Structure 1
Amino acid sequence: MQAVTERDALIAALSWQLSMGADEAMLDAPVARTAAPPPGPEAEAKRPPTTPSAPIPLRKVPPAGQLSASLAAGASTLEELRAAMAGFEGSALRETATNFVFSDGVPGAPVMIIGEAPGAEEDRQGKPFVGASGQLLDRMFASIGLSRAENLYITNILPFRPPGNRTPTDAEIALFLPFVLRHVQLAAPRFLVLAGGVSAKGVLQAREGITRLRGRWHEVTVLDGTVFKVLPTWHPAYLLRNPIAKRDAWADLLLLRRNMKDD
């Protein structure tokens, strides 16, 4: 019997594969027939060199506090300050308020009053101190010969009403304080009256409450170094709820009148 060579075995195996329907050779790994063929040496030589693309710089948005300080410093008149504050979008209060409340009275008046924030009536009319507390404020200052029609200028710490007339937060006060100090600088009053604890603690940056702060003179320095004489007193809304405190407010008004005469 003739011995079967390796060649004969391979031919027999190939014949069996053909009889089983195998009509092409198989590779160890599948072939991606839809993919483009790899470039040859000539294509590699013609390909331009690639350089890594530079990352796209992110736009740096300054914090709202920095933006309010920058806008305040850039205003050189009260009208410019009003426009800057009206266009300031760094506070969510503008979304819930009806009107922007800037000021009332006579710019350049000898006495400037700073309250806390607009109430419901102030929000409707767009002016500070026009509700019940504003009417009491007018009567109080009329008793020492001052009125918003002639020699008073009035504004608030916040230009927008907080929802539900809630007390302004420390963050809200700090956000608008650069505008307030610039407002004082541009209005240039001889005396500054801070109505209520929020206004007094915010402008004076004091830890004491209005009970300890009122009844005596303080000083505040604004951006250009100008020093203003400051008198904290009760807010008229507090006096409406606590009429007995009106005697303290009257004492504060007499102190203001004496200093106005002596100045």
Structure 2
Amino acid sequence: MESGNTYWRDRALLEWQIELGATDAILDAPVNRYALEPVKAASKPAPAVADTPMPPELPVKEAVNAVLVAREAAAMVQDLASLATAMEAFDHCELKRGARSFVFCDGDAAARVMIVGEAPGREEDRAGRPFVGRAGQLLDKMFDAIGIGRTKSEAAQGLYITNVLPWRPPSNRTPDAAEIAMMLPFLERHITLADPDIVVLMGNTPCQALLGRTGITRMRGQWHEVLGKPCLPMFHPAYLLRNPIAKREAWSDLLSLQARLRDVKET
């Protein structure tokens, strides 16, 4: 009789707990889970690794110092023909990939005056010669006015013309500092081999390359020295085509050049 009463009492208590929302059965007393021993996870065996050889490591491509390569190549040449070959073979200037022609020089290499321009334009890229477009035609007229030119038969009245860069920049943009730096060793070697009496720097880019300065409106007409030779910054003929009023300053610079040629000849 006693056990029967316990059954019905326990069942009534269980139904009462279910009505209250109890869902799980637990122990008679709370469990202190912090005091329990941690259950160690069963260690899984390491996956089998196929006995295959590892792929070889690819060699790391070292960065090329284009300026150093250009300096070494320029130092090895002993004449202008070899210099042109070395420059044309130089593969570290990206301008070479987009240009049509390699533009090295024009005029008489024995001339007393060497002109250094910026870079070939569209017409120069087509012809493979520097200063052949409208700017080149104006240049010829300017120097013809003082009795010298690229087609003169005598070196004393001749002109020798080159550029800082031998390849045309896209859309005739201004050469950047990296392009100027990598081609500078070739330009310096070019001047040394040509050995002119006077170097004329046409525009900002050759001034940046050889004098380390820009600001042609302030520098023009002022004599400097490059590789032991007198040099004269002048406005680029393309600038004169856009600003005809500046031709007065260009004429003054030409007269200064003419007088300097006379002084150099006398000494």
Please tell me whether Structure 1 or Structure 2 has the larger radius of gyration of its CA atoms: 2
* Aligned partner letter, 1:161: R
Equivalent-residue separation in structure 2 for 1:57 and 1:127 (angstroms):
42
TM-score of the two chains, using structure 2 as the length reference: 0.74
2:70 is aligned to 68
- Unpaired runs of 5+ residues, structure 2, are 1-44, 52-56, 153-157
Structure 1 gaps, min length 5: 1-28, 36-54, 222-226
Cα distance in structure 2, aligned partners of 1:245 and 1:202: 23
Which residue matches 1:220? 226
* Deviations 1:70-112 (CA, angstroms, capped at 9, x unpaired): 1111111000100000000001101100000000000121000
Give the partner amino acid of 1:138. Answer: D
For residue 250 of structure 2, what is the aligned residue in structure 1? Answer: 249
Q: How does 1:5-154 map to 2 (within 5 A)?
A: 62-150=64-152, 151-154=158-161
Amino acid in structure 2 at the alignment position of 1:127: R
1:141-180 to 2 correspondences below 5 Å: 141-150=143-152, 151-180=158-187
SS in 2 for 1:216: coil
Contact 1:201 1:210 in 2 (8 A): no
% identity of equivalent residues: 52
Segments of 4+ moved more than 6 angstroms: 55-59
Kindly state the Cα deviation for residue 61 of structure 1 after the two structures are TM-superposed: 6.2
Instruction: Tell me how far apart the structure 2 counterparts of residues 61 and 242 of structure 1 sit (CA, whole Å).
Output: 43
CA distance in 1, matches of 2:147, 2:184: 29
1:51 matched to which residue of 2?
A: none
Q: Which string of whole-angstrom CA distances, capped at 9 and with x for unpartnered residues, describes residues 191-224 of structure 1?
A: 0000011111211112x41111111110012xxx
What is the count of residue pairs matched by the alignment? 208
Q: For 2:195 and 2:126, locate their aligned partners in 1 and report how far apart those are by CA, in whole Å.
A: 28
Aligned amino acid, residue 173 of structure 1: I
CA distance in 2, matches of 1:75, 1:60: 26
Other-structure match for 2:21: none
Letter in 2 for 1:166: R
Give the residue type in structure 2 aligned to 1:255.
Answer: S
SS in 1 for 2:119: coil
